[in-house]
Amino acid sequence: MKTLLIIVVIVAVALIIANVVRNRGARTTALSDAQADARAAIDRLAGQVNNLVGSNDAARQALADAGERYTAAGAQVGGANTPAQARLAKQTALEGLYYARAARVAMDMDPGPPIPELDGQRSAGSVSEDRSVEVEGRTLDASPAPSDRTPNYYPGGVVAGRPVPAGWYSEPWWKPALVAGAWGVGSYLLFSSMFAGMAGVGPTVLADPGVDGALDSGTDGGWDSGSDGGFGGDSGFGDFGGGGDFGGF
């Protein structure tokens, strides 16, 4: 009986060890696959960043944003310890590809092959008409196309819990919220003024975000929306300085 008990214990321990090794191997494989998927997007972005030269302000700004995403995605995939972190690196690279495509459009070039959809992009929609609004003493413009008036592109998605429509804007007004991880209390006024009645935007864009300026949308696109850091700046929309220079950041 004692010998049988020892055999049972040995078998049980062996099964536990085998299960741990199997699970560890599965996690390693999943991480490797996710990293390889991310690196494929990063390599595609590298080709765009290294071969395109902006010929106007809109294209140069879009390529600068693409370059930032390329650098960030490389750092993210290199430090990824889980498949989720590697998938975030892929999302960053895909954002960069959208910026590179925007640069091509701004230079009247072929936009290139399709790019996989970003998290939250569909629900955010896109700017479908030219619009100029005044919010807290500053004028903000939005357009479906690049121009001298609207040289700042955003590919659409979720910033700090709020959907931001794809389009071209006079200022990158979403960046302070991206940095702080939360919108200020004036964000609802901004969104309702700029996007109310616009056919191309999703209904969640105009939802009242509440006191902290963050929607409970079920996804934050990889950004931390739990901060109460606000939108930043003197006016509630950040200090952009000139031509998209965020003086306060």
Whether 245 shows a pLDDT value over 60: the answer reads no
Q: Is 135 helix (H, G, I), strand (E, B) or coil?
A: strand
**Which of these, 142, 132, 141, lies nearest to 200 by C-alpha position?**
142
Q: What is the mean predicted confidence (pLDDT) over 218-225?
A: 35
- Angle at Cα 154 formed by Cα 153 and Cα 159, nearest 5°? 150
Sign of the CA dihedral running 104, 145, 95, 243: positive
**One-letter amino acid for residue 14 of the chain:** A
- Tens digit of pLDDT for each residue in 67-101? 999 999 999 999 999 999 999 999 999 999 999 99
**Which of these, 137, 132, 147, 129, lies nearest to 199 by C-alpha position?**
129
- Tens digit of pLDDT for each residue in 103-115? 999 999 999 999 9
Beta strands in 76-229 (DSSP E): 131-135, 138-143, 152-154, 157-159, 162-164, 167-169
**Which of these, 185, 182, 150, 149, lies nearest to 169 by C-alpha position?**
150
What is the DSSP code (8-state) at residue 204? G
pLDDT at residue 19 in the model: 66
pLDDT at residue 185 in the model: 80
pLDDT at residue 135 in the model: 86
- In whole angstroms, give the CA distance from residue 168 to residue 159: 16
pLDDT at residue 113 in the model: 94
Tokens of 73: 């995605």
Query: What count of other Cβ atoms lies within 10 Å of the Cβ of residue 245?
Result: 9
Where do the structural domains in the chain lie, given as residue ranges?
Answer: 2-106, 118-249
Among 4-8, 28-32, 211-215, the least confident range: 211-215
Task: Confirm if 205 and 187 have CB atoms less than 8 A apart.
Answer: no
pLDDT higher for 230 or 188? 188
- Tens digit of pLDDT for each residue in 19-47? 666 666 666 789 999 999 999 999 999 99
- Tens digit of pLDDT for each residue in 121-161? 999 999 999 999 998 888 999 999 999 999 999 999 999 99
Query: What count of other Cβ atoms lies within 10 Å of the Cβ of residue 107?
Result: 18
pLDDT higher for 224 or 115? 115
**Which of these, 248, 92, 89, lies nearest to 175 by C-alpha position?**
248
- In whole angstroms, give the CA distance from residue 133 to residue 184: 18
Among 46-60, 93-107, 182-196, 218-232, the least confident range: 218-232
